[in-house]
Structure 1
Amino acid sequence: MKKQLAALLLATTLTAGIGLVAPHEAHAASAQIVSGVNFRDTPSTSSKVIRMLKKGESVNIVSKVNNYWYQVRDANGKVGYVSTDSKYIKSSSSGNSSSGNSGNSGSGSSNNNTSTNTSATVTKIINAGKKYLGTPYEFGSSRSNTKTFDCSDFVRQAFKDGAGITLPSDSRQQADYVKKLGNTTTNWHNLKPGDLMFFMDYKGTSKSAYPTNKSNQRISHVAIYLGNGQVLHTYSKDSGGVRIDSIEGKHWEYRFVFGGSALK
């Protein structure tokens, strides 16, 4: 009887031990940290930093939360969140670990196709916008022609030409549209090419002129992010119309409120 109880206890212990394995562990994609990046406790730039993941560290990608965040497990078994930006992390697997469906041999191909299609659409939007470089600025420009643009009219036209998408007519409505899609960030470093950037009113060239918490600030400008800290936009007659600017260390960076994708 004692032997039977011992065997039962052993079987129960083994079963419980198996249950402790994380559900995504079997198909989590391995990845390497390319450069130092914050390891956070929630997928938000305002969340607590657990520690800094160092260049060369290996982690497992448990899931892709959205376009901006991975849930990862470090070598110590700690689970947290890091940016999906390729300048911080490089996955050694092309599969999508977020689906949890490792038995579906077609899932990786489908996700890759979706990613390729999105990338192609972004390229078309950016190229459509660049076609209008130098087009004069006019506040309240007509939405029925492309002779002049204000900021939101320009963005609207680039998306209409490049992707057949008609965005709302002004920057605040465009901001609401992007917010409803859900993938937004207040850290411009987390943006991807083709994302929209929304800015508050100009208050000067100094960082100290702008509030730290911009969540309640009125949106007054919109631009298309090109990557590498550059934006495609238009904002005044004196600036020469549609143009490309670098934002880092300038008032554009200090005025930035949030950004995200306008693609569904």
Structure 2
Amino acid sequence: MKTVRTAKELREAVGAVKADGRSVGFVPTMGALHAGHVSLIERARADNDVVVVSVFVNPTQFNNPDDLRTYPRTEEADSEKLQAAGVDIAFFPSVEEIYPEPDTRVFELGPVAEVMEGAMRPGHFNGVAQVVSRLFRMVQPDRAYFGEKDFQQISVIRRMVEIEGFDIEIVACPIKREADGLALSSRNVRLTPGQRAVAPAIHRILAESVDGASGRSVDEVKRAVTDAINAVDGMEVEYYEIVNPADMQPIAEWSEAEGGAVGCVTVYMGDVRLIDNIKYPA
């Protein structure tokens, strides 16, 4: 594995690959790597000749300074995991390397970025678009891989790709879960043992709502999920929306999502913010 820290080194390494006509798969991460990230790398490895992974905690997508401050940073462990996963090029840039000057771009991301995470975290998705567009220009991958845990983010990135005119395939990969159902997240390491013990209730309640959705309205299912999660000691729902995945807009009737709706939830456990989602069949 080749480790690089500057945009110049990255461009040279990827340029040599491209000159040989080999395809490049790219997995952008914020580090604190876990099996979910490894599953993205494995998919990239299967689809491409060369795999590039970036590890960068992007400050422009954090609207909460405390969240940025406490986000786990584990470079040595991350590097070992990337090596074990068979990554070809690992990019560990500094903030100054990604942002040699302030990024003042404002992306017109439209409705997909205005609801749920967009409403609760002002500026978050613009920061995501800033950093991913910069990384895409540096790496120039054929394909880029993102996990469906961040379901809304994938739609935002696809919109950014459209705006910027990138010729890059965005590949969405299934959520990776612990054996007890908890969606893998770098933030899980911040849960106390007590919180970790009850956290799988989020996915369990979402899964039960799919089984119980037949004959119930969208609003009834939303209320049932919200009430059930809030009833778990230490959990507080920030939002639960059932949306049309085509445009991320909340639906009032199941028929509004032709291919099936997606339920997206954010839950606070103390000061740890967990997200998850579930698909409802058409």
Q: TM-score, normalised by structure 1?
A: 0.29
Report which structure shows greater RCO (CA 8 Å, sep ≥6).
2
The structure that is helix-richer by fraction is: 2
Compare CA radii of gyration and give the structure with the larger one: 1
Q: TM-score, normalised by structure 2?
A: 0.28
